[in-house]
């Protein structure tokens, strides 16, 4: 307690002693001095003792850690309490360039030089570079000797010294005018693309291609919905009960874990490339799994009757036509000064389009009314339907006893102005139901005469017999024609080759007997060689069992050249350790 009161009465002395002890790092402190230093630090942190003061008279925060407040020996040897080493050193600070400074590009603006200057580039005459660094085309006679067409001097590039932010500024030296030039270029390209696409859509709408695709797809969907209406009504209640346990088509759905994995396609569907195996049909891209054209186009089938008519067919179904018309309206409105965009302002565009349609219909009605007032003819437009005029229709409809439609309400087949399904001459088939060898006929009797009488199966039999007689007569006639045609040089050459081959075969047969005798001799020599090879192998085994030091020199090797039979016997008798069946050879 006494020591603490003394320190509090004489703070200057205590600060000097503690400061000297704290800054004198190399000297070892006693335990008492270390305890006093810690107590003083605690008092300063609690506010009971005044803080340390640096050479400028500023207080040092007692809560600053020691590794920050302690001064390195190479900065301040006096060991005074200070934080000067943590502040920027004014003598070491450099003058940095501002962020807006950047290198100038191009050539200097000023007077044009007309005379070569000493020390300039010998090729172009500029003072800012040497001949080896010149970027101009090498002249036949340099500017040093001609003194003509002296190139202007470029800007001398200074050496900038940027600070931390200046070095890391990505946009320093950026010219916004370059970006505007790029924007203008892309806007021109985009405008050209819009114009071309608008012209294409206008042509398709004018030709009625898009409308035909939409009508056919709607008709097909309507027929499918009508066929499955009654079946769906009876099964809706059961499906609702087991909805959680049903897997979605095209997905692997686990109702217990609620995990959905998208498959590539529904496995019950036929793959696109299997719909038509003709190699000349629609092209299938295996990388993107796309088939743009109709695979049944070369079969003559109607696109409305097939289940798949290509990827392009899907593009003209649903709201595709409506979307195309809206996009076309947006482009036309943009050209006339209305700032609308399909993706940016879809609601605004839709309202504008609907108002445009209403105004257009009103204008057409007004124009039609003015024409009728001027020329008349309103009574021709107020005509009742054709079904009421003729009191009949070709639409066949079947109803149940409850009034529900079972079958019907289908579009009637368009009939031509000619009579159809009219049978003449006792025929059971119409003219043109049979075709063969470029001629049309009747399918019932295979007759090619339109005004003939039907002969039925007897007529078919007669046609078959006539064809068989013609086939029998054809070979004799072909042979006569073939004999009358002179032979070419190639055919004569082939006949000579056949004759020479026949002679060679006869010559080989004469030598077959001699070759059989030679083959028997070779077999006898091979048997003798096999016996000799077995004896040699036994001799080698006996020699190998003898100690190496007691063997004769070259006792295993032979000097004479082996015959073909001996080599064949060696190949047949040699051991093959790499063969997995080698151990079974002697068994």
Mean pLDDT by 10 residues, the chain (587 residues): 40 43 59 92 92 88 90 77 82 72 80 88 92 93 92 85 86 86 94 92 80 66 57 50 48 52 65 87 89 85 80 79 90 89 90 93 93 87 76 76 74 68 82 85 87 84 76 56 64 81 72 73 87 87 81 71 86 78 67
As a whole number of angstroms, the distance between CA 170 and CA 410 comes to: 70
SS3 198: helix
Helices (H), 72-208: 143-146, 164-167, 176-207
As a whole number of angstroms, the distance between CA 566 and CA 527 comes to: 10
pLDDT value of residue 332: 92
As a whole number of angstroms, the distance between CA 107 and CA 544 comes to: 97
Q: What is the token pair recorded at 275?
A: 């719909």
Give CA separation, 518 vs 310, 461, 478, 563, in Å: 73, 67, 51, 16
As a whole number of angstroms, the distance between CA 242 and CA 236 comes to: 10
pLDDT value of residue 474: 52
The answer to pTM > 0.85 is no
As a whole number of angstroms, the distance between CA 318 and CA 89 comes to: 75
Angle made by CA atoms 533, 536, 541, in degrees to the nearest 5: 130
What DSSP letter does each residue of 153-176 carry, written as one string? PBPPPP-----HHHHT-TTTT--H
pLDDT value of residue 574: 80
Bridge partners of 59? 53
pLDDT value of residue 7: 40
pLDDT value of residue 23: 44
Which is it for the CA torsion 123, 129, 130, 136, positive or negative? negative
As a whole number of angstroms, the distance between CA 54 and CA 38 comes to: 20
Torsion angles phi and psi, residue 509, rounded to 5: -65, -35
Q: What is the token pair recorded at 423?
A: 């049978």
- Residue identified by tokens 């007309």 is 114
Nearest to 293 by CA among 279, 277, 311: 311
Residues of 309-345 as b/e, b for ≥16 C-beta within 10 angstroms? Answer: bbbebeebbeeebeebbbbbbbbebeeeeeebeeeee
pLDDT value of residue 393: 72
SS3 452: coil
pLDDT value of residue 539: 84
Could you tell me which residues come within 8 angstroms of residue 144 by beta carbon, excluding any fewer than 6 positions away?
116, 120, 122, 125
């Amino acid at each position: 307690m006494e020591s603490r009161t003394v320190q509090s009465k004489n703070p200057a002395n205590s600060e000097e002693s503690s400061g000297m002890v704290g800054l004198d790092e190399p000297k070892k402190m006693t335990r008492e001095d270390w305890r006093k230093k810690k107590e003083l630090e605690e008092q300063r942190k609690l506010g009971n003792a005044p803080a340390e003061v640096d050479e400028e008279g500023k207080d040092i925060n007692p809560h600053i850690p020691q590794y920050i407040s302690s001064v390195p020996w190479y900065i301040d040897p006096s060991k005074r309490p200070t934080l000067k080493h943590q502040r920027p050193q004014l003598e070491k600070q450099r003058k940095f360039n501002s962020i807006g400074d950047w290198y100038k590009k191009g050539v200097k603006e000023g007077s044009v030089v007309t005379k070569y200057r000493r020390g300039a580039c010998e090729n172009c005459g500029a003072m800012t570079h040497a001949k080896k660094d010149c970027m101009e085309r090498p002249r036949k006679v340099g500017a040093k000797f001609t003194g003509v067409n002296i190139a202007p001097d470029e800007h001398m590039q200074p050496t900038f010294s940027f600070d931390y932010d200046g070095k890391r500024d990505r946009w320093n030296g950026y010219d916004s005018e370059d970006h505007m030039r790029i924007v203008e270029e892309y806007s021109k390209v985009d405008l050209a693309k819009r114009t071309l696409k608008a012209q294409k859509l206008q042509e398709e709408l004018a030709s009625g291609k898009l409308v035909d695709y939409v009508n056919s797809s709607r008709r097909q969907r309507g027929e499918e919905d009508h066929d499955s209406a009654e079946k769906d009504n009876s099964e809706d209640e059961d499906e609702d009960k087991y909805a959680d346990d049903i897997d979605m088509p095209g997905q692997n759905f686990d109702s217990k874990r609620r995990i959905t994995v998208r498959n590539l396609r529904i496995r019950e569907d036929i793959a696109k490339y299997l719909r038509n195996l003709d190699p000349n049909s629609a092209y299938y891209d295996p990388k993107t799994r796309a088939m743009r054209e109709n695979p049944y186009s070369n079969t003559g089938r109607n696109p409305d009757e097939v289940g798949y008519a290509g990827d392009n067919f899907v593009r003209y179904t649903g709201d595709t036509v409506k979307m195309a018309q809206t996009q076309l309206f947006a482009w036309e409105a943009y050209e006339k000064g209305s700032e609308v965009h399909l993706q940016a302002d879809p609601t605004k565009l839709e309202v504008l389009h609907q108002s445009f349609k209403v105004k257009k219909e009103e204008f057409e009605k007004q124009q039609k009314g003015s024409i009728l007032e001027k020329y008349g003819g309103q009574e021709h437009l107020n005509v009742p339907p054709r079904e009421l005029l003729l009191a009949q229709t070709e639409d066949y409809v079947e109803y149940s006893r409850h009034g529900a439609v079972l079958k019907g309400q289908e579009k009637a087949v368009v009939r031509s102005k000619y009579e159809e399904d009219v049978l003449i001459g006792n025929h059971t088939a119409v003219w043109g139901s049979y075709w063969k060898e470029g001629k049309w006929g009747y399918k019932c009797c295979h007759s090619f005469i339109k005004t003939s009488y039907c002969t039925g199966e007897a007529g078919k039999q007669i046609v078959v017999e006539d064809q068989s007689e013609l086939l029998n007569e054809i070979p004799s006639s072909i042979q006569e024609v073939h004999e009358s045609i002179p032979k070419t040089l190639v055919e004569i050459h082939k006949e000579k080759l056949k004759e020479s081959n026949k002679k060679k075969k006869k010559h080989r047969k004469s030598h077959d007997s001699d070759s059989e005798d030679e083959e028997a001799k070779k077999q006898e020599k091979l048997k003798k060689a096999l016996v000799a090879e077995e004896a040699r192998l036994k001799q080698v085994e006996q020699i190998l069992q003898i100690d190496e030091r007691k063997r004769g020199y070259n006792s295993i090797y032979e000097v004479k050249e082996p015959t073909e039979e001996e080599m064949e016997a060696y190949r047949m008798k040699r051991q093959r350790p790499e063969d997995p069946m080698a151990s079974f050879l002697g068994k």
